[in-house]
């Protein structure tokens, strides 16, 4: 699905707002990166956001010390500002880097935003299993705008047939299907979750569960 996300230049200052510390206070010192380096990181972030308008993903493979993490966080912040966190932004990291990325995000907000309070409106949630993930993604008024998960999250829950069904439901919401293809999909989903012999799950019930209502109220 094409997107149109812009760099939030009025909110983000890669390289750091002059003299701002992790606590957000203003000091007389300036320990940020050079202007040339900040400009390069900004240009990279803009390029990423532009590329995502016509492709589903991008690989950022700069050398160590080139600011990949802050470039990624500038992209995250830009998308949050552009979309108001609907749908949520999901950040997936290896388990060993989860706490580091969240700490870096706090530092990014404190040092690289013209007004750190502009990010306070976005609710964050750390999820450890698929059930919590789907709850955080839900249509409730208090749902998360930024979700942190690690790469092992879904491995813990894929034996749960209802989690499998939820994944199928999300995939179904992004796919256009003919009536015949939809019937076949519902029948296949019933077999996939392997509940037929234990629960009275029919293709009709699967079809009902697969109905996806977007936050805009459109049913697909």
Beta-strand pair 89-93/146-150 = parallel
For residue 191, give its domain range: 161-210
Least Cα distance to 133 among 101, 174, 172, 162 occurs for 162
Token couple for 216: 């805009």
Instruction: Please check whether residue 26 lies inside any domain of the structure.
Output: no
Token couple for 32: 């940020």
Compute the half-sphere exposure of residue 43: CA atoms within 13 Å on the CB side of its CA. 7
Instruction: Please check whether residue 22 lies inside any domain of the structure.
Output: no
Could you report the per-residue pLDDT of 38-85, keeping only the tens digit for each?
Answer: 999 999 999 999 998 888 888 988 888 788 999 999 999 999 999 988
Q: Could you give the number of structural domains in the chain?
A: 2
Instruction: Please check whether residue 4 lies inside any domain of the structure.
Output: no
Q: Is the domain of 146 the same as that of 180?
A: no
Could you report the per-residue pLDDT of 110-147, keeping only the tens digit for each?
Answer: 999 998 888 989 999 999 888 788 888 876 777 899 99
First to last CA, the chain: 15
Q: Distances in Å between the alpha carbon of 85 and those of 43, 162, 194, 210?
A: 23, 26, 35, 24
Calculate Rg over the CA atoms of the chain: 21
Q: Is the domain of 124 the same as that of 171?
A: no
pLDDT score at 102:
94
Could you report the per-residue pLDDT of 176-192, keeping only the tens digit for each?
Answer: 778 888 777 777 766 66
């Amino acid at each position: 699905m094409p997107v149109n996300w812009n760099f939030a230049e009025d909110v983000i200052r890669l390289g750091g707002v002059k003299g701002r510390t992790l606590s957000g206070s203003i000091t007389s010192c300036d320990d940020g990166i050079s202007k040339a380096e900040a400009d390069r990181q900004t240009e990279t972030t803009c390029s990423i956001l532009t590329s995502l308008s016509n492709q589903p993903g991008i690989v950022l493979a700069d050398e160590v010390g080139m600011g990949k993490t802050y470039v990624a966080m500038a992209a995250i912040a830009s998308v949050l500002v552009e979309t108001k966190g609907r749908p949520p932004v999901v950040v997936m990291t290896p388990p060993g880097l989860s706490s580091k990325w969240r700490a870096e995000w706090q530092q990014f907000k404190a040092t690289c935003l013209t007004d750190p309070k502009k990010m306070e409106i976005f609710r964050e949630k750390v999820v450890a299993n698929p059930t919590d993930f789907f709850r955080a993604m839900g249509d409730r008024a208090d749902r998360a705008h930024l979700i942190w998960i690690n790469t092992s999250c879904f491995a813990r829950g894929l034996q749960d047939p209802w989690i499998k069904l939820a994944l199928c439901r999300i995939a179904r919401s992004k796919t256009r299907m003919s009536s015949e293809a939809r019937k076949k999909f519902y029948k296949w989903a019933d077999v996939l979750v392997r509940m037929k012999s234990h629960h009275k799950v029919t293709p009709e019930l699967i079809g009902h569960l697969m109905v996806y209502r977007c936050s805009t109220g459109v049913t697909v």
